[in-house]
């Protein structure tokens, strides 16, 4: 086992550090930004179907569902196709309206999640086209779908998903860009720029990993917290959900992720000097809005840890701690901004003496409902 961990103390840490490579593997052979080439062979025959879809339904559970939320923002922005993201467990039992012009994208690391599989069968029986985004080659979900694209992240052993999440977003981003390009909903120059940006993601993720020691120091300060709030807006809202899930599943600290503007409809009541609030506040279209959300938390003496874009001085002046990540197109930021949150939850869990690779009550693959 020590050999399999490749010198890392836990699989989770190894998998977090593998991400520059796993994202690179996911993009390899599919994306060549210089030549303006982007091709996902697995869905080639379905491009017209997706392009002309009335609606895209994304079905998943857990962390994969969070990747689906990121994809919702990306598909709607670039492809102008309405997207709904569904928990597989809810979808399968609520007699959903699904038709032949719907395209379903099922996302699953293991390819074995029982609820996701059942949701696929239901949508299939109603005539929808089903695509899979899975990591485990030859698993049940890829076999049940019409077509799909593998994430090629390599085996993920840690129960808390890390590299599978970033690989899922990478594949979904490529899908969206491919469809948008074929559909003509994205200007050629914007499309070409996004390809260049996507190709640069692995190096930017590597830069985030260089922050490990700094993040460990922040973890030391907050390891005894009993609650934690994660807030983000736009593309960083699903990252807030994922950051909170990572913390609660491995450290057993109660954590909630929220869209930052929703804070005033509830969570703000919880904020006092004992409440750490993690903001994902990189420079994007909602930057000024999130700055005012940070001010609202500081006014109530909350402890602010902010993930910001390198060189940000405005939030640095307000927050208790900042974690600076490389700049990127806002649509690609989740691939970068989630990295410090994975590391933060990892270190807090280790400091609390938790079994990070096998947290209590959780399973890597949920094959029962
Ligand atoms: C379990 C795992 C999570 C995972 C979820 C969905 O809860 O612990 O890490 O996100 O199942 O699994 P899937 O294999 O379908 O992505």
ipTM of the complex: 0.97
| C-alpha torsion 287→289→290→295, nearest 10 | 130
Say what the pLDDT of residue 225 is.
97
73 vs 84: CA distance, rounded Å? 10
Enter the tokens of residue 281: 């506040």
264 is an active site residue:
no
What pLDDT was estimated at residue 149? 98
Only one residue has tokens 């796993």, namely 22
Task: Look at residue 116 in the predicted model and tell me its pLDDT.
Answer: 98
Longest alpha-carbon distance in the chain: 56
pLDDT of residue 317: 97
Crossing angle of helices 163-183 and 19-27, in 10° steps, is 30
Ligand 1 interacting residues, C-beta cut-off 6 A: 61-64, 108-110, 113, 116, 159-161, 362, 364-366
**Closest by CA position to 164, among listed 367, 365, 368, 312:** 365
Question: Which pLDDT value is given to residue 50?
Answer: 97
Alpha helices in 261-332 (DSSP H): 287-299
| HSE, side-chain direction, 13 A CA sphere, residue 171 | 31
Phi, psi angle pair for 35, to nearest 5°: -90, 0
pLDDT of 146 reads 98
Ligand 1 center to 348 CA (angstroms): 21
CA distance 142 to 130: 10
Its pTM stands at: 0.97
Contact 152, 137 (CB under 8 A): no
Out of 5, 49, 182, 364, the active site residue is 364
Mutation pick for ligand 1 pocket among 109, 160, 162, 169 (CB with most ligand atoms within 8 Å): 109
Given a cut of 50, the residues of the chain with pLDDT beneath it are none
Q: Which pLDDT belongs to residue 368?
A: 84
Q: In sequence order, which ranges of 92-210 are alpha helices (DSSP H)?
A: 114-125, 140-144, 163-183, 188-199, 201-209
Helices 212-222, 333-351: crossing angle, 10 deg rounding: 50
Mutate to test the pocket of ligand 1, among 58, 59, 62, 68 (most ligand atoms within 8 A of CB): 62
Buried b (16+ CB within 10 A) or exposed e, 155-167: ebbbbbbbbbbbb
Instruction: Please give the full DSSP string across 39-76, using - where no structure is assigned.
Output: --GGGGGGHHHHHT-SEEEEEE-HHHHHHHHHHHHHHH
């Amino acid at each position: 086992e020590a050999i399999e961990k490749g010198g890392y103390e836990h699989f989770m840490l190894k998998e977090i550090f593998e991400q520059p490579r796993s994202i690179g593997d996911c993009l390899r052979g599919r994306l060549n930004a210089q030549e303006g080439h982007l091709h996902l062979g697995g869905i080639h025959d379905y491009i017209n179907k997706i392009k002309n879809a009335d609606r895209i339904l994304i079905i998943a559970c857990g962390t994969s569902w969070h990747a689906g939320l990121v994809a919702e923002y990306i598909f709607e922005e670039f492809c102008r196709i309405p997207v709904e993201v569904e928990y597989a467990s809810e979808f399968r039992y609520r007699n959903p309206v699904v038709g032949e012009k719907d395209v379903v994208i099922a996302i699953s690391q293991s390819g074995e999640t029982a609820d996701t599989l059942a949701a696929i069968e239901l949508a299939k029986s109603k005539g929808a086209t089903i695509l899979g985004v899975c990591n485990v080659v030859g698993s049940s979900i890829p076999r049940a779908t019409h077509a799909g694209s593998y994430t090629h992240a390599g085996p993920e052993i840690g129960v808390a998903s890390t590299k599978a999440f970033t690989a899922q977003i990478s594949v979904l981003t490529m899908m969206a860009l491919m469809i948008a390009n074929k559909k003509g909903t994205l200007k050629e120059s914007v499309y070409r720029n996004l390809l260049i940006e996507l190709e640069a993601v692995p190096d930017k993720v590597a830069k985030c990993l260089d922050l490990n020691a700094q993040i460990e120091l922040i973890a030391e300060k907050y390891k005894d917290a009993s609650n934690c709030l994660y807030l983000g807006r736009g593309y960083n809202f699903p990252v807030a959900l994922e950051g909170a899930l990572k913390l609660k599943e491995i450290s057993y600290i109660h954590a909630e992720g929220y869209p930052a503007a929703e804070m005033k409809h509830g969570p703000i009541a919880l904020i006092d000097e004992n409440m750490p609030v993690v903001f994902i506040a990189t420079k994007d279209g909602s930057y000024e809005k999130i700055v005012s959300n940070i001010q609202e938390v500081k006014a109530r003496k909350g402890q602010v840890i902010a993930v910001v874009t390198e060189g940000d001085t405005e939030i640095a002046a307000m927050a208790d701690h900042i974690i600076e990540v490389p700049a990127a197109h806002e649509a690609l930021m989740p691939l970068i901004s989630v990295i410090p949150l994975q590391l933060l939850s990892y270190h807090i869990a280790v400091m609390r003496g938790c079994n990070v690779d096998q947290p209590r009550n959780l399973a890597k693959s949920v094959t029962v409902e």
